[in-house]
Structure 1
Amino acid sequence: MIKTQAKSSQSINAKSAAAKKESKAVAQDTNTEKKPRFYESWTFLILFCVVLPMLIRSFLYTPFHIPSGSMKSGLLVGDYIFVSKYAYGYSKYSLPFSPDIFEGRKWFTPPKRGDVVVFRLPTNTSIDYIKRVIGLPGDKIQVQQGVLYINGKAVPRKKTGTFVDNEQGQETTLDTYTETLPNGVSYTVLDQTPYGMLDNTQIYTVPEHHYFMMGDNRDNSQDSRVQEIVGYVPEENLIGQAKMVLMSVDSPFWQFWRWPFTLRSGRFFTLIH
């Protein structure tokens, strides 16, 4: 009888121990469920939403808004474009807030003649400009009677028609020319008058590690011909190559209620040449 009671007591104790162990395991599982993995947390989501766009803008592509008509007719005021950040490597201006952590460029690939480039203005690096690369290091650049000369040779240009500019409610008709650089790159330039202020210039010799930039709207472009404001652009100041027009709107972007009437849908997703 005593042995039976002992066995019964042992059995009860064993069951009680098993129940406690099971209860502890359930509690551990419950605690595990209450603590989500890091990649399932709000912290990760917030970091992901902040860091990923920053990485994309720093190392891959960044948006840019065309603020002026200096690159007409190829780029219009109100175009929103993608700029390739990796096209020419990286400098401190590739990073947010332009931290002074290194000089020059890393993984540098030089731009080619005819590339449309976004760069920091040499005289005020808080301002971005967009122009076309015309002169490479060592080149001699000059404009005579509106004709571009590179290293003493006139750049061929052919009249192709007219462009009607309707900026600020004033309609102006400009002649259009196709200009072809020595490397075969062709593009359209505008010529408003044969007597423009920058139609006859000195000879500019492009320094080492610098580039000579010009706008396609030749009589309405503040570019490397204006030495005291733009001048020669250091390679360090290059932000990237303009690649594509993402969207275009012929009104202030914030006036979204006008979009149905001002969107230039024909310019969406067009490549920049």
Structure 2
Amino acid sequence: MGMAFLRYRRWLRTADKLYTYASLGLVTVFVLLPFFWILSTSLKPESETFKFPVQWIPGKPTIAAYVEMWSHRPYGIYLLNSAFVALASMLIAVTVSSMSAYGLSRFRFRGSNWVLLAMMGTQMVPPMLLLISYFKVMSAAGLFDTLWALIITYTAYLLPFSVWIMKGYLDTIPVDLDEAALIDGCSPGNVFWRVILPVILPGIVATAIFSFLLAWNEFTFAYVLTSSDKRYTIGVGIAYLFGEYSVAWNELMAAGMVASLPPILLFFFASKYLISGLTAGALK
């Protein structure tokens, strides 16, 4: 009876592992299939993109779509614009949110909880409702069709959630660390910059990745607040590949593949910080 029970337990463990691996395999295929299709289509000649039945693997692989993409439109400028806007928005959001979150986490004052709720309440407003307001403000300020209009807009949208993430992470750091530094003679400012800042690095990285990805992938504000070819971000540049009567699907997929590389590389190298930072903030 005992041996049968042990064999049954081993069978359950084996079945559980098989179920786990099969589920992970299906999820992986489901997630990676679109990327495989984008890569496959980008390597096809235009004649193969409309072939039926569908060819999953290019019959005659070519990089002509990538050459066409770079030679006909200034995708280098689009990428630089996206990188500048995303990095600038990320740096401002991380700097301001880390200091704001430190103040909200360490210094209690009347209405502090309402401040946090008000910040999160702004995230409940659909961005489309703010589109006309931002357009009028940026036009009145003389910032329309500039990258700074996008940076200001993205930063305003990123700050509330960034503060929330950073505060959740800072709440996990013991206050004793601050008190020990104050006893050793540090000012409150030095406590933050010299003691707390190195400790909350995973939270900072998580917030930075979140901010960068949101700014990099944003399309609507970039489409409305820019009007010249020299100010377009990569998303807007890709959108203009849709012609009135035809679409060069292989070139469109090639542009999408190039645009997806920076976020993928960023997540690949900093994924452990992202997971630990978001988990700590969420659990707290």
Same fold (TM over 0.5): no
> Shorter-chain TM-score: what band?
under 0.3
* Higher Cα radius of gyration: 1
Greater fraction of residues in strand: 1
Q: Return the TM-score normalized by structure 1.
A: 0.23
Q: Return the TM-score normalized by structure 2.
A: 0.23
